[in-house]
Amino acid sequence: MSDTPWPARLSPKALAVLDELPDHAREMLRDVMDIAGRDPWSFPPFDSRDPEGEDVRAAAVGHLTAVYWINRPAGRLYIIDIIWLG
C-alpha cells in the first residue's frame, strides 16, 4: 500500500475493519474516498428519509460501502463504518 495520506479520517470501528480488508479492497476504499473528498455530496445520503442527515453519506462501489460524515467546519470526511461483502 502506498504512503500517501488518507483523504478522510477513520473511526476506531472503521480502522478495525480496514485491518481485515484485503489489499485490493483497501485500494478501492482509498479511491472511493478520494472521489468523495473532491465532491462529498456526489454519493447519496445514508438515510434519505432523514432531512437533517444530509451530511451522512454512503459511498458504495461493488462489494464495498463506506459510510462517512461530511465535517464541514474541518473541511474533511470522517469514515464512520466500512462494509465489505467480499
Encoded amino acid at 83, one letter: I
CATH of 8-84, picked from 3.90.1300.10, 2.40.50.180, 3.30.2310.20, 3.40.190.10, is: 3.30.2310.20
Supply the pLDDT for residue 1. 43
User: Over the stretch 40-83, which tens digit does the pLDDT of each residue have?
Assistant: 888 999 898 998 889 999 999 999 999 999 988 888 899 999 99
Spatial contact of 64 and 25, defined as CB atoms under 8 Å apart: yes
Residues contacting residue 9 through CB under 8 Å, at least 6 positions apart: 76, 77, 78, 79
What pTM was estimated for this model as a whole?
0.84
Supply the pLDDT for residue 38. 87
Supply the pLDDT for residue 41. 87
State the average pLDDT over residues 27-51.
Answer: 90
Q: Per-residue pLDDT for 25 more than 50?
A: yes
